[in-house]
């Protein structure tokens, strides 16, 4: 069957360690975004309260923002986990992470003693330099996923094979 012969093999096996690292990074970042969205999706009122504690989002936009942000996180997470539109998801993830970084930084500078609202809407981590470091790692991972080569093992690659 000539069609089968013309189909390229999944490239991950030929990409060596870089391929595996990109795959691992994609799965870890995707799982992180998806996990971060779950509690916020389940408890939008509590998440709105967490966002309000930063005093950065005007009240008029607070509820729409609290409803939309977890959905964006979940979308990024699913896209990265299944490997579809990886670069677009990584770009959105990088923008979100930079936004979180700015919010955390401003809360620390203003001396706010508040829950970060990152993974849990009630309780959870208080804003701290540790979180800044974690978020910086997330930004770096997203930027790398944005620029890393295509390595396969994603839904998009399966689509291209057909």
Partner 1 sequence: MVPAIESVGIGRLATCLREAGLLLLLALSVTVAAWLIRPEKMSLRAETAFYELELDAPLIAVADALVLYDTGSHLFLDTRTAGPGSFVTIPGALPVRVTTFDDDLYENRDFLYPEDPVVLFGDGNLPAVSDVAALLLERGFEEIMIMGGDLEAWRRTGGPLADHQAGEHE
Angle, vertex CA 135, rays to CA 105 and CA 108, nearest 5: 20
Residue 84 CB, shortest distance to partner 1, in Å, is: 9
Among 28, 62, 112, 132, binds partner 1 (CB under 8 A): 62
Residue 3 CB, shortest distance to partner 1, in Å, is: 26
Strand, helix or coil at 120? Answer: coil
Decide: 62 and 48 in contact? Cβ < 8 Å: yes
Number of residues interacting with partner 1: please give it, by CB under 8 A.
40
Decide: 64 and 112 in contact? Cβ < 8 Å: no
Among 23, 29, 34, 76, binds partner 1 (CB under 8 A): 76
Q: Is 85 one of the binding residues for partner 1 (CB under 8 A)?
A: yes
Among 72, 98, 155, 158, binds partner 1 (CB under 8 A): 72
Helix, strand, coil abundance in the chain, percent, nearest 5:
75, 0, 25
126 bridge partner residues: 115
Of 114 and 132, the one with the shorter C-beta distance to partner 1 is: 114
Q: Is 68 one of the binding residues for partner 1 (CB under 8 A)?
A: yes
């Amino acid at each position: 069957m000539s069609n089968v012969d013309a189909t390229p093999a999944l490239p991950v096996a030929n990409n060596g360690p870089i391929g595996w690292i990109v795959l691992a990074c994609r799965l870890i970042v995707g799982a992180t975004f998806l996990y971060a969205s779950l509690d916020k999706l389940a408890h939008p009122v509590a998440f709105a309260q967490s966002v309000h504690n930063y005093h950065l989002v005007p009240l008029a936009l607070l509820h729409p923002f609290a409803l939309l942000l977890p959905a964006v996180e979940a979308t990024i997470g699913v896209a990265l986990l299944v490997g579809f539109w990886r670069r677009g998801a990584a770009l959105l993830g990088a923008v979100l992470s930079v936004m979180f970084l700015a919010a955390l930084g401003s809360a620390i500078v203003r001396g706010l003693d508040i829950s970060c609202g990152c993974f849990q809407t009630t309780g959870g981590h208080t804003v701290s330099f540790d979180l800044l470091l974690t978020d910086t790692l997330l930004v770096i991972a997203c930027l790398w996923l944005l620029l890393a080569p295509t390595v396969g093992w994603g839904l998009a690659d399966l689509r291209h094979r057909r």
